[in-house]
Amino acid sequence: MSVASFQDQLKEQGIELTERQVEQFEIYFHTLVEWNEKMNLTAITDKEEVYRKHFYDSVTAAFYFDFTNEIHVCDVGAGAGFPSIPLKILFPNIHVTIVDSLNKRISFLNHLATELGLEGVSFYHDRAELFGKNEKFRHEFDVVMARAVARTSVLAELCLPLVRTDGTFIAMKGANAQEELANAENAIELLGGKLQRVEHFSLPNNDGERNIVIIDKKRKTPKKYPRKPGVPNKNPL
């Protein structure tokens, strides 16, 4: 996806990029590729691919959820910043907190935030299982989201404890979202969530099936969740 078609596709969704935002995506691309030579951030480095599979894919969440308010968003396992940094570029009003268990990715994000001149972003090196136990963050966020981190049953235990009651958990998924959801029903219920809806679509040029799973937080998560690091993955609820 060329920069021009990235702009056009967003325009079709009613999102018109300013010159500054176009420049910020350009800086993001260059910083990502430069740092990727020193550390493993992404397998995708071709410019058109980065724009389609990282930038555009990340911002599709905004086609189905309103990010225009001053909400607090937590991105669990954001790696090189996806999906929350592209969303922050589009919606500077949102507050972004990223938690990732790989410290070198946190170093990259700190550098990137300076390069992009971002304000209202915080990055934490931690396991989501421990972060979700921390009273400073538990039940604190309006929205918690994740892309390509774990299957939905596991992801629910990493993300739902961080969502405030009446907040939203957004899981950005590929083709097998429905099957993952069927296996996650029990976990979602136990953790205080309720499925609101699944948005199903393809990336432009039929390049990949996508599903955005939107889960409402109905009740506080019981104290015992999340369990110890590694347990959600080993033994999903």
Ligand X SMILES: C[S@@+](CC[C@H](N)C(=O)[O-])C[C@H]1O[C@@H](n2cnc3c(N)ncnc32)[C@H](O)[C@@H]1O
Contact 164, 142 (CB under 8 A): yes
Of the residues 88, 147, 210, 217, which one makes contact with ligand X according to CB under 6 A: 147
127 lies in the binding site for ligand X (CB under 6 A): yes
Count the site residues for ligand X by CB under 6 A.
Answer: 16
Bridge partners, 217 (sequence order): 193
Asked if 86 is part of the footprint of ligand X (rule: CB under 6 A), the reply reads: no
Residues 24-63 that bind ligand X (CB under 6 A): none
Return the closest-CA partner of residue 74 out of 126, 133, 140: 140
Nearer Cβ to ligand X (18/175): 175
Q: How far apart are alpha carbons 207 and 216 in whole angstroms?
A: 29
Closest separation between CB of residue 102 and ligand X, Å? 4
Q: Which two tokens stand for residue 207?
A: 């390049």
Closest CB 137 distance from ligand X, rounded Å: 12
Q: How far is the CB of 19 from ligand X (least distance, A)?
A: 26
Q: Examine residue 158 and tell whether it contacts ligand X (CB under 6 A).
A: yes
Question: Of 9-17, 25-33, 123-131, 161-169, which part binds ligand X (CB under 6 A)?
Answer: 123-131
* Residue 128 within binding range of ligand X, rule CB under 6 A: yes
Minimum distance, C-beta of residue 139 to ligand X, in the bound complex (Å): 18
Question: Angle at which helices 152-159 and 177-190 pack, to 10 degrees?
Answer: 40
Output 2-6 pairs: Cβ under 8 A, ≥24 positions apart. Answer: 2/48, 2/51, 3/51, 5/204, 6/51, 6/52, 6/55, 6/56
Choose, by CB under 6 A, the member of 9, 31, 97, 101 that binds ligand X: 101
Tell me the C-alpha distance between 147 and 208, whole Å: 14
Q: Name the site residues for ligand X (rule: CB under 6 A).
A: 77-79, 82, 99-102, 105, 127-129, 147-149, 158
